[in-house]
Amino acid sequence: MEMTTLGRTGLKVSRLGMGLEEIGHLNLDEINEAGRVLNTALDKGINFLDTAACYGNSEELVGRAVAHRRHEYVLATKCGHVAGRYVGQAWTAKTVRDSIDRSLTRLQTNYLDVVQLHSCSLDVLEQGEVVQELLKAKEAGKTRFAGYSGDNEEARWAVESDLFDTLQTSFNLVDQHARTKLFPLIAIRNVGLIAKRPIAEGAWGAKQSPSAYADQYFQRAQMMATKRAIPEQPDDRILLALGFTLGHSEVDTAIVGTRNLAHMLSNIKMVETQLPISMKAMEELHRRFEEVESDWRQLQ
């Protein structure tokens, strides 16, 4: 598995990471299923795991399944929402503090590698209370690094503030604005870049929208498609999508979410044996996006 450095954190991460929202849909008694996927990912060289306080049972299943292998992976989670049975108000210092403490317990670890504010608004960022609480957690050693997960104006603010060590943001072949609006800033400040939704929810080349969540991606893919084929494109549409995202060296790790073991193994095989995709295909996808987008924004 190809490894890279997550920006100024110095952490060595696999370029293919694992998003763990899907794992969170499992019941706690489905620990064997979660364990198969997580342990296989680690065995195959994936070492970046991304979860969140509001991803159902995700954190607890990670803790139960792979806490004994804690030294083998970089662990990122997110905070700020009112999640589970917690009673409180979103985006307060107390909620952020309690969320981090709860994550440490559920993940069965005494430190987190990255804690990210989970897509809060620009107003919340500018107000500063939750940002400062996250930085206090970093100073206390609860997390090694502070990150922001979000898009558009909020993502730009987070990078320009120089308060965050990492940014997790949407980037894929039908959601490319990060390439022109964020990548240059990220490079200047050496912020670690985590690409979410790197395969565009499987919308490219699909006969119909894969899910309600993917509808906008599917519409964009339809607009970018023409009767003319993408030059030198691979036959596999997922390989095209994943290859596009990882074809940008600015992306340190791209997190793909699945609890399907076969899908994960297929993704690993693509990354290890079938990348990079053709530069001609990359350039054509850049051109088509620029031709058809008008006021498209990064999708949350």
Residue spans of the domains in the chain: they are 3-202+246-274
Structure tokens at 7: 């920006």
- Alpha carbons 229 and 212: distance in angstroms, whole number: 27
Specify the residue for token string 């609890």: 259
Burial class (CB in 10 A: 0-12, 13-18, 19+), 92: middle
Backbone angles phi, psi at 46, to 5 degrees: -75, 125
CA-CA-CA-CA torsion sign (180, 127, 162, 91) = negative
Q: What is the pLDDT, as a whole number, of residue 293?
A: 76
Residue 93 CB: number of other CB atoms within 10 A?
A: 15
Pairing state between β 12-14 and 192-196: unpaired
- Alpha carbons 62 and 40: distance in angstroms, whole number: 13
Element at 3 (helix H, strand E): strand 3-5
DSSP letter at 80 equals -
Rg (CA), the chain: 19
Specify the residue for token string 């499987």: 202
Cβ atoms 52, 75 nearer than 8 A: no
Burial 5-44 (b: 16+ CB within 10 A, else e): ebbebebebbbbbbbbbbbbebeeeebebbeebbeebbeb
- Alpha carbons 261 and 113: distance in angstroms, whole number: 25
Cβ atoms 137, 99 nearer than 8 A: no
From the centroid of its chain, how far is CA 132?
23
Q: What is the pLDDT, as a whole number, of residue 300?
A: 66
Q: What is the pLDDT, as a whole number, of residue 1?
A: 86
Q: What is the pLDDT, as a whole number, of residue 54?
A: 87
- CA-based end-to-end distance of the chain: 29
**Which numeric CATH code is attached to 3-202+246-274?**
3.20.20.100
Q: What is the pLDDT, as a whole number, of residue 112?
A: 98
Q: Show the low-confidence residues of the chain (pLDDT under 70).
A: 294, 298, 300
Specify the residue for token string 């006969």: 207
- Alpha carbons 243 and 18: distance in angstroms, whole number: 16
Backbone angles phi, psi at 290, to 5 degrees: -65, -30
- Alpha carbons 28 and 184: distance in angstroms, whole number: 42
Output the pTM of the full model.
0.94
Structure tokens at 133: 């609480």
Single-letter amino acid code for the residue at 163 = L
